[in-house]
Amino acid sequence: MSFIKIVEELRKIEERKNKKIGISKEKTKKVKVKNVKKVPEQRKILSTPPINYTHIFETNKGKLIVDENSRKISIVDYDRDSILYPLTPLFYSKDVSEIFVRNNSVVVTFRNRRYFVNTELNINELLENIAISQGVILNLSKPYAETYLTLNGSEWRIYLKLNEKEILCAKIIQIPSLLDFMDKDMAIKVIMLLLKPSGLVICGPTGSGKTTLMNSIINTVLKLFELKISVIEQVKELVLPETPLISRSIASDKWKVTDLLRNAIRYERPSIIVLGELRTEEIESWFEISKGLASITTFHSTSLKSTLDVFKLYISKYTGIQYRPEFTYIFMEKIKREKSVVRRVKSIYTTLNNGIVELDKVDVRNNTMVGDYNTVYNLLSKRLDRIIHFI
């Protein structure tokens, strides 16, 4: 049988199938098909999904065939003209949050679960296409590059690794309201402790929502007060409004985090300083800054004891004295369920009378909060009621 007759037969099969079922955008159907139609445009290619699959998800740029039993995804009808070919539908799916490419293999996070992707790609071509289209330098002398893409209303952070043949893509999610993490009373207390001023450290394991909570706190404070905020990150992760009230710096080989912290204090005149992630090499500078300035950061730790042990060790190492900083510690946790992942606040501790106490079990208003407790509490309560639904 000639190629033209094969294509014609496939077209007829697809027409018969479409009369029996309807597949609309962003909707799924439990169906079984043996072939997918051949789209007339030459820039589209024919792809045949596996016979046993669970759902079809259609995006603006193609289809995803998701087999939940084997945890595999097949991509069909992708666009050859796209710089992300053959992965374009993954970037346009609202259900895909991470895409990991190494050599010619692909794994994605789809609805908080990991799936292998059945596709054929040329990793060198994909690296080159992204680098050229985004105007980033990627060569043997500079084998690593970072760029951002806005697709289908979502922003993606893309990290390119030339030598390792890797592409790491993460969707920057929409920031939830602070009241999605804690009740109103606790949210007010956390903001008051931050503005005391004092240091706020958000702790937890990888992927527990530390940066998301920090982002929510910053956005809430910006809505409540017109404060100058300096932000220093190793990698651009925070989703912040474009305003002169926010000064933003990204660390590089030339500019270390410690240098950026010192420059921020010297030149930017911030009311709050934000460090995306606290690492041991920045602890000395961070503690010095936090003594007289409202500050907020994240720290990889799963318990209060381990956090305090690390802080004591490095404070003693750098200063030669035993010193406990007056920080508030928020611990996040990640709970894996059968088909989802829950990220939430586990506990909140603050420093009181040279000790560490749980914030929801003691009265910490005396000599702890900013200003007169009742006056400030009532003011924040009224302002939160007005703005919380718009964050």
Q: Which residue has the tokens 């995804």?
A: 73
- Measured CA to CA, the distance from residue 229 to residue 69 in angstroms comes to 48
Please give the single-letter amino acid code of residue 198: S
Going by C-beta distance under 8 Å and a sequence separation of 6 or more, which residues neighbour residue 68? 54, 55
**Cα diameter, the chain:** 87
The confidence score (pLDDT) of residue 23 equals 43
Q: How many CB atoms lie within 10 A of CB 385?
A: 10
- Measured CA to CA, the distance from residue 21 to residue 352 in angstroms comes to 65
The confidence score (pLDDT) of residue 52 equals 57
Segment 132-140 long-range contacts (CB within 8 Å, at least 24 positions apart): 133/83, 134/158, 136/160, 138/162
Per residue in 38-78, pLDDT (tens digit) is 434 444 444 555 555 578 898 888 899 999 889 999 997 66
pTM: 0.71
Report residues of the chain scoring pLDDT below 50. Answer: 2-4, 6-7, 21-46, 391
The confidence score (pLDDT) of residue 96 equals 95
Q: Which two tokens stand for residue 242?
A: 């474009």
3-state helix, strand and coil shares in percent for the chain, rounded to the nearest 5? 30, 30, 40
Q: Which two tokens stand for residue 300?
A: 């990889």
- Measured CA to CA, the distance from residue 144 to residue 386 in angstroms comes to 44
> Which contiguous run of DSSP H or E holds residue 221?
helix 210-224
Q: How many CB atoms lie within 10 A of CB 98?
A: 16
- Measured CA to CA, the distance from residue 201 to residue 356 in angstroms comes to 13
Contact call for residues 203 and 307 (beta carbons, < 8 A): yes
Contact call for residues 65 and 74 (beta carbons, < 8 A): yes
Q: Could you give the domains of the chain? A: 54-171 (3.30.450.370), 176-389 (3.40.50.300)
46: which DSSP letter? -
Contact call for residues 73 and 110 (beta carbons, < 8 A): yes
The confidence score (pLDDT) of residue 217 equals 96
